[in-house]
Amino acid sequence: MKRLFTVTTILAGLLAAAPAAAQDKLSVMLDWFVNPDHAPLIVAQEKGFFKDAGLDVTLTAPADPNDPPKLVAAGGADLAISYQPQQIIQVAEGLPLVRVGTLVSTPLNAVVVLRDGPVKSLKDLKGRKVGFSIAGFEDALLGAMLEKHGLSLTDVTLVNVNFSLSPSLLSGQVDAVVGAFRNFELNQMDIEKHPGRAFYPEEEGVPPYDELIVVAHKDKTGDARIKRFLDAVERATLYILNHPEEAQAAFVKGRPELNDELNRRAWADTLPRFSHSPAALDSARYTRFAEFLKARGLIKTVEPVERYAVVVK
């Protein structure tokens, strides 16, 4: 009995002295600077959920928001946060990308006007100026929304305001903007005492889509790290829903610039939009949106969903 105790004690000491299992490194490019849209990623990092999944995750904000998918396609990063509409278009253009997860499962994009301005409905945009940031999807989205009200893109003047969406609206440079994120621009305008009015694509003729997705190289979908990453993101999302105050404290830890009124409002508005099951895929929904992109002339054919979106197992 004494000998058994001694052996057990020795084994326990050896196990205690053994180094912790190595963490698998995983690089993730964000779509933009850190903001509440990335809350599940930051919370998973801060609460140790990635570590529990055996991952050493590096989250990097891009110098150019167009770069992350290209970096993944070129093997410069393991994963990237991107946008469903752009990803389908990029795959059609030949980028070897596949959607492996969803971060924000509803559109955030909106057409925004001043609440006390002359535009009360989309029909009131006739003859007016509309600002945009990125040509292609945004004007296609606007065109579909206008058509529901008997208008077309020829009835408005499109103005490229780059990423100066709400400032161009507040200054009177344009009468409306497309591409504004409802969880940010609307709050920013309200804080500046110029409240806005939003028209939502999914209510104006555009099929619903996932705003933020996780993309990987099409040849890397069998990488076991991806499943563990998505499991940790799901765990973080549920933690945020169950413990919003503690989760927000973790989100702003070491990031005082995110603890201002705008980001606190955006946090509250973004919470209900996170995918509760990041790895899940609604193939019919993706096909429907691809058909919309084809109808708007942004892709030539509707490929099988597995060509650009998969469920990682």
Average pLDDT over residues 170-196: 95
Q: Is the pLDDT of residue 3 over 60?
A: no
Q: Which of 43, 30, 26 shows the shortest CA–CA distance to 255?
A: 43
pLDDT tier at 22, thresholds 50, 70, 90: confident
Q: Which of 158, 169, 163, 168 shows the shortest CA–CA distance to 197?
A: 169
Judging by DSSP bridges, how do beta strands 97-104 and 157-160 pair with one another? unpaired
pLDDT tier at 65, thresholds 50, 70, 90: confident
Q: Is the pLDDT of residue 4 over 80?
A: no
Average pLDDT over residues 220-226: 96
**pLDDT for position 162:** 83
- pLDDT averaged over the chain? 93
Strand partners, 110: 180
**pLDDT for position 6:** 47
What is the percentage of the chain residues whose pLDDT exceeds 90?
88
Q: Is the pLDDT of residue 5 over 70?
A: no
Average pLDDT over residues 290-308: 97
pTM of the predicted protein model: 0.91
The tens digit of pLDDT for each residue in 107-117 reads: 999 999 999 99
The tens digit of pLDDT for each residue in 38-61 reads: 999 999 999 999 999 999 999 999
Residues, the chain: 313
The tens digit of pLDDT for each residue in 105-143 reads: 999 999 999 999 999 999 999 999 999 987 789 989 999
Q: Is the pLDDT of residue 196 over 90?
A: yes
The tens digit of pLDDT for each residue in 172-184 reads: 999 999 999 999 9
**pLDDT for position 15:** 45
Axis crossing angle, helix 244-252 with helix 261-270, rounded to the nearest 10: 130
> Could you give the 3-state DSSP secondary structure of residue 56?
strand
**pLDDT for position 57:** 98
**pLDDT for position 21:** 59
Cα–Cα distance for residue pair 57/26, rounded to 1 Å: 5
Could you tell me the CA-to-CA distances from 167 to 164, 171, 199, 246, 262 in Å, in that order?
A: 6, 6, 18, 33, 15
Q: Is the pLDDT of residue 7 over 60?
A: no
What is the percentage of the chain residues whose pLDDT exceeds 70?
93
CB-count burial class (<10 Å; 0-12, 13-18, 19+) for 22: exposed
Cα–Cα distance for residue pair 125/177, rounded to 1 Å: 11
